[in-house]
Amino acid sequence: MRVVITGAAGFIGSRFAEIFLDEAERLGVTQIVIFDALTYSGRRENVAALLEDPRVSFVHGSIVEASTCELALRGASAVIHFAAESHVDRSITGARAFYETNVLGTQQLLEASRQLGVERFVHVSTDEVYGSIPEGSWREDHLLEPNSPYSSSKAGSDLAALAYARTYGLDVRVTRCSNNYGPRQFPEKVIPLFVTNLLDGLTVPLYGDGQNVRDWLHVDDHCRGVLGVFERGRAGQIYNIGGGTELTNRELTTRLLQLCGADESRVEPVADRLGHDRRYSVDWTKIRTELGYEPRVDFATGLAETVEWYRRNEAWWRPLKVGR
């Protein structure tokens, strides 16, 4: 079986590719294609070790390009689609790229999958498509109410994927995850940004009153959830993947200060993000009951190990912060 993983040189995609390769023999996977445009957050270094395995090949190109999609997907039995523009702040200042990649790029992949007879398509999305919830948690059938260009572009890609399932009978499975953290996350996202700033003796920018709430999910748990959906999920279904640790941004900042040996003087309050969602929380009962998913990584342990990874891997992140 030939499987294409899009966005596999990025933070989550590269970790999934590592886990997937470890499971390849059990899954009957003989070829893995890493399909990535290598934009600013996709890095060849993230997949260098994987490419030493003869079962792994690399296709460099954009999912927006029909010819490249056809090249990558020809002969494939399955696509696992991580590729996306994903940073909310960037979407606020440059929305067009998000709609082009996330909506049009996903549609291009879906069409290539349909034309080439791909049997299974796992579309990886985000809890941000639901909007903001003051209390309780979203189930998979909740109304989509995205509030940023990023989240609206992901909602559009979700709807495109589900439309291809309903109209053409393509086996599409959608996952929506909580905020991820872990090693190799690009240092524009809050945890690696704060950690690398603190390691450099700099301040950390805390939006607004710091009371925005997020549910935190270790990248390994997210990847295990996606793998479960790939293996045993139902066609045409949506699965929320949660981490089970809700924290305000202020509480998260305090933990990072402690782990980096810094004090409150390093916190710099800044004007709130435009359209900043107050709280995210997914109900992941469905994936737990249907597929046996449970997060395994304790947040305190996972966060400490993540901070330590950035401490030990300055050579990885230092070039990414030049000029930032």
User: Is residue 323's pLDDT more than 90?
Assistant: no
Confidence of residue 139 (pLDDT cuts 50, 70, 90): very high
pTM for the predicted model, two decimal places: 0.96
Mark whether 150 is an active-site residue. yes
The verdict on 150 and 249 lying in the same domain is: no
Q: Which of 85, 127, 220, 277 is catalytic?
A: 127
Query: Residues near 322 by Cβ (< 8 Å), separated by ≥ 6?
Result: none
pLDDT tens across 160-204, in order? 999 999 999 999 999 999 999 999 999 999 999 999 999 999 999
| DSSP-assigned states of every residue in 145-168 | ---SHHHHHHHHHHHHHHHHHHHH
The verdict on 208 and 77 lying in the same domain is: no
Q: How many domains does the chain have?
A: 2
The verdict on 236 and 312 lying in the same domain is: no
User: Is residue 28's pLDDT more than 80?
Assistant: yes
Q: In what order do the strands lie in the sheet with 245-248?
A: 179-181, 213-218, 245-248
Q: Are 267 and 257 in contact (CB under 8 A)?
A: yes
Q: Are 121 and 139 in contact (CB under 8 A)?
A: no
The verdict on 106 and 25 lying in the same domain is: yes
The verdict on 272 and 222 lying in the same domain is: no
Whether residue 286 lies inside any domain: the answer is: no
Whether residue 267 lies inside any domain: the answer is: yes
The candidate with the shortest Cα–Cα distance to 307, out of 199, 186, 188, is 199
Whether residue 34 lies inside any domain: the answer is: yes
User: Is residue 90's pLDDT more than 80?
Assistant: yes
pLDDT of residue 321: 85
The verdict on 175 and 313 lying in the same domain is: no
pLDDT tens across 236-276, in order? 999 999 999 999 999 999 999 999 999 999 999 999 999 99
Whether residue 142 lies inside any domain: the answer is: yes
Instruction: Please report, for the domain that includes residue 258, its CATH number.
Output: 3.90.25.10
Range of the domain at 25: 2-180+217-241
The verdict on 150 and 227 lying in the same domain is: yes
The verdict on 105 and 159 lying in the same domain is: yes
Mean pLDDT for the chain overall? 96
Whether residue 160 lies inside any domain: the answer is: yes
The verdict on 262 and 202 lying in the same domain is: yes
The verdict on 156 and 206 lying in the same domain is: no
Whether residue 14 lies inside any domain: the answer is: yes
Mark whether 171 is an active-site residue. no
Q: Are 233 and 170 in contact (CB under 8 A)?
A: no
Instruction: Please report, for the domain that includes residue 27, its CATH number.
Output: 3.40.50.720
Can you tell me whether residue 256 is helix, strand or coil? helix
Mark whether 22 is an active-site residue. no
pLDDT tens across 30-84, in order? 999 999 999 988 999 999 999 999 999 999 999 999 999 999 999 999 999 999 9
The verdict on 57 and 196 lying in the same domain is: no
Whether residue 283 lies inside any domain: the answer is: no
Q: Which of 36, 85, 99, 128 is catalytic?
A: 128
Q: Please report, for residues 69, 150, 184, the alpha-carbon distance to residue 306 in angstroms, rounded to integers and kept in the order given.
A: 34, 25, 9
The verdict on 8 and 31 lying in the same domain is: yes
Whether residue 292 lies inside any domain: the answer is: no
As a whole number, mean pLDDT of residues 85-99 equals: 92
Q: Which of 99, 150, 164, 181 is catalytic?
A: 150
